[in-house]
């Protein structure tokens, strides 16, 4: 058996490859680091953990790295479904598990990178989806209530029905609130099952950025996305999907739709995009502060590649530990 590969006890043929997680808020350089790190590790492949990059056609607005810029590294987790298709964290975990199984057979190394904390946790911590109740009819009713009564009313119901569950839910996220209320109605306020853990060797790395610099990076990316054709991309998506879609609420698309409808000027749309991304980054930072075991690096202090490579070697090669 190659160093760092751990067999699953119930299946002697299944092995889990080393898993390197790169976490952090939006626009902190995670994607670029993941590609350069993968290029330095033989057999490394990237799994993108971004809840909006799974949708086909949402390219510029989600900062999806173009195929020509992927450095020859296989990327997974991208373009999995159409924008109007349902897609859950359990779906993402199943996709990532298939990628990990294939990498275990090669053998290879997985680099899981993104800012969707629940996606990262589902893969690297092993959330037990099968043990959490789900009911499509209940969820559909809650979605209707969310649209009619608004997020604050549903968040208040979660706090009232399941205070323990509410304490572990981002009550500013409509999808998380709807799911929490579904669970609360089906099983009450019982604790959720504990994560099972990733069975192979895993390493969590995080990129942080000085606040003022980060705002500049966010503003630069937003302006670049609009200059690269975000409005045209949004127009093409609206032509295909005239009805409102949850996927098209991703930051950048409502602002582009505003320009198309004449409600916003280009400058106003970019400013709103920046404002929403700054607020989003704060929520991500709050999430990741509560995630144990992340080793952080300030990406504005130096190039993080050497730092990440050293830690990756320690994970992959036990002799380096």
Q: Within 10 Å of residue 313's Cβ, how many Cβ atoms?
A: 14
| Delimiting residues of CATH 3.40.50.300 domain(s) in the chain | 6-130+196-217+284-320
Find, among 193, 196, 162, the residue nearest to 177 by Cα: 162
Percent of the residues in the chain that have a pLDDT greater than 70, as a whole number: 92
Q: Is residue 319's pLDDT more than 70?
A: no
Write out pLDDT tens, residues 254-302: 999 999 999 999 999 999 999 999 999 999 999 999 899 999 999 999 9
Query: Tokens 């889990």 — which residue?
Result: 16
Our CA angle for 153, 155, 159, nearest 5°, is: 115
The one-character DSSP state at 261 is T
Residue 166's pLDDT band (cuts 50, 70, 90): confident
Helices (H), 63-188: 89-105, 117-121, 136-149, 151-161, 163-167, 174-187
Q: What's the pLDDT at 5?
A: 40
Mean pLDDT taken over the chain: 90
pTM value > 0.85: no
Q: Was domain 133-187 assigned CATH 1.10.20.140?
A: yes
Residue 134's pLDDT band (cuts 50, 70, 90): confident
Q: Are strands 19-24 and 109-113 parallel, antiparallel or unpaired?
A: parallel
pLDDT, greater one: 152 or 191: 152
Residue 190's pLDDT band (cuts 50, 70, 90): confident
Distances (CA, A) of 316 to 62, 73, 88, 165: 31, 18, 31, 37
CATH superfamily of 6-130+196-217+284-320: P-loop containing nucleotide triphosphate hydrolases (3.40.50.300)
| Delimiting residues of CATH 1.10.20.140 domain(s) in the chain | 133-187
Residue 128's pLDDT band (cuts 50, 70, 90): low
User: Three-state DSSP class for 153?
Assistant: helix
The burial of 75, by beta-carbon neighbours within 10 Å (0-12 exposed, 13-18 middle, 19 or more buried), is given as buried
């Amino acid at each position: 058996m190659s160093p760092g590969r751990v067999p699953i006890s119930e299946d002697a043929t299944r092995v889990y490859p080393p898993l390197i997680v790169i976490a952090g808020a939006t626009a902190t350089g995670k994607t670029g680091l993941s590609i350069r790190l993968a290029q330095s590790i033989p057999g490394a492949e990237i799994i993108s953990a971004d809840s909006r990059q799974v949708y086909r056609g949402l390219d510029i607005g989600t900062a999806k790295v173009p195929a020509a810029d992927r450095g020859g590294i296989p990327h997974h987790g991208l373009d999995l479904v159409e924008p109007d298709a349902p897609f859950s964290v359990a779906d993402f975990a199943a996709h990532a598990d298939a990628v990990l199984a294939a990498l275990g057979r090669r053998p290879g190394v997985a680099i899981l990178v993104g800012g969707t904390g629940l996606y990262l946790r589902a893969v690297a911590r092993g959330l037990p989806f099968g043990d959490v109740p789900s009911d499509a009819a209940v969820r559909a009713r809650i979605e209707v209530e969310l649209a009619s009564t608004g997020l604050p009313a549903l968040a208040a119901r979660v706090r009232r029905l399941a205070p323990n569950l509410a304490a572990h839910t981002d009550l500013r996220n409509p999808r998380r609130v709807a799911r929490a209320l579904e669970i609360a109605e089906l099983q009450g306020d019982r604790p959720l099952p504990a994560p099972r853990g990733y069975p192979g060797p895993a390493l969590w790395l995080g990129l942080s950025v000085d606040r003022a610099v980060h705002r500049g990076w966010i503003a630069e990316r937003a302006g670049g996305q609009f200059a690269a054709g975000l409005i045209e991309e949004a127009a093409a998506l609206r032509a295909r999907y005239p009805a409102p879609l949850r996927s098209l609420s991703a930051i950048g698309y409502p602002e582009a739709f505003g320009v198309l409808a004449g409600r916003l000027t280009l400058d106003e749309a970019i400013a709103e995009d920046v404002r929403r991304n700054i607020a989003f980054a704060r929520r991500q930072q709050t999430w990741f502060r509560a995630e144990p075991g992340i080793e952080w690096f300030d990406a504005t202090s130096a190039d993080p590649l050497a730092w990440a490579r050293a830690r990756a070697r320690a994970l992959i090669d036990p002799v380096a530990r």
